[in-house]
Amino acid sequence: MAARTVKLAVIPGDGIGPEVVAEGLKVLDAAASGHGISFETTEYELGASRWHATGETLPDSVEEELRGHDAILLGAVGDPSVPSGVLERGLLLRLRFAFSHYVNLRPVRLYPGVGTPLAGVRPEDMDILVVREGTEGPYAGMGGVLRKGTPDEIATQDSVNTRLGVERVVRYAFAKAAQRPRKQLTLVHKDNVLTFAGELWQRVVREVGAEFPGVSVDYSHVDAAAMFFVSQPQRFDVVVTDNLFGDIITDLGAAVAGGIGLAASGNINPENDFPSMFEPVHGSAPDIAGQGKADPTATLLSTAIMLDHLGLDAAASRVERAVSEDLRARAELGADERTTSAIGDEIAKRVAGQG
């Protein structure tokens, strides 16, 4: 196999970010070694600590350097000491927009042995791939404030839906659905009320769907989808949805599929014009930071999404299989008292053992 070097930018971030990212790198090395893949990592100190020290969220020079990488692995950023929105808009959203991460991929999958609050739901009932739009909708930053602080204050936050933006994410979702056994795509929106945007999404799904005759198409209002994620998750295979709706239903998905410690994500630029960024869905968890209590599994599953995106499918499968085995073993153990690094070590060992 030809040797391949992946230039990986690493943003450990704040709180438990550095703890879980260390395990991610351990497992990536285990997946790569002996398979002609190596990771050349560069670490960037960004997040709350940098903001406190220098007032910077993402210096232009760092954005430029990140651009030169094949992928980015991010832990989590944020701390109660930083005003809300500073890091979200100044770092996370800025990277998503600058690097055109128009696909936010969030699997909602119940692994065997993992507990769910849903009675009677089996792993085969919950294997949903949510394709959330990442650069538009109400998160685009359009809107403004007038007469601030007066009784006549007005705040608007527009939802941006471009033909280009909707079409590219819908096409990506169809392509994913076509590769999966069930070949089903559900559009989640609220087209009975958000009629302008909803009609655009519906029309694009119809038109792009014509290119994928093997994929069956379904539709669900977002409020009903929230209900079905809980009552009938087996309804869904691939879900494509707006930025805000996707944010909300994937947190619900995380809660029913084993909790925030397992929820993985990828912020993807499918054309590879820019590096894609992979991160656990959870935040910096200041309440447990520095204690070795964080579950690194969400980060490890995010590295599997990264390997898959980089075309390293075999390595991705090794990581996913090792995580799945570890989750099953946990169920047999009962209470999992392992530290963050002990979990990482054992999963890395399983990855290496698969050769």
Residues near ligand NAI, by CB under 6 A: 16, 20, 76-79, 92, 260-261, 279, 282-288, 294-295, 298
320 part of the interface to Mg ion, by CB under 5 A: no
Active-site residue, 251 included: yes
Q: Name the active-site residue from 44, 102, 111, 139.
A: 139
Binding to Mg ion (CB under 5 A): which residues in 281-300? none
Q: Closer to Mg ion by CB, 247 or 279: give it.
A: 247
Give min distance, CB of 301 to ligand NAI, in A.
11
Question: In sequence order, which ranges of 68-209 are alpha helices (DSSP H)?
Answer: 86-87, 94-98, 163-179, 195-209
Active-site residue, 295 included: no
User: How far is Cα 223 from Cα 229, in angstroms, rounded to an integer?
Assistant: 10
Q: Name the active-site residue from 223, 287, 313, 336.
A: 223
CB neighbours of 234 closer than 8 A, spacing ≥ 6? Answer: 124, 125, 126
Q: Closer to Mg ion by CB, 101 or 318: give it.
A: 101
Q: Give the long-range contacts of residues 287-293, CB within 8 A, separation 24 or more.
A: 288/16, 289/14, 289/15, 289/16, 289/19, 290/19, 292/19, 292/339, 292/340, 292/341, 293/339, 293/340
Residue 90's nearest CA partner among 48, 144, 137, 44 is 48
Give min distance, CB of 299 to ligand NAI, in A.
8
The answer to whether the Cα torsion of 107, 104, 28, 1 is positive or negative is positive
242 part of the interface to Mg ion, by CB under 5 A: no
Give min distance, CB of 203 to ligand NAI, in A.
32
326 part of the interface to Mg ion, by CB under 5 A: no
Binding to Mg ion (CB under 5 A): which residues in 82-101? none
Active-site residue, 139 included: yes
Residue 75 identity: G
Active-site residue, 190 included: yes
Q: Which residues does the annotation mark as catalytic?
A: 139, 190, 223, 247, 251
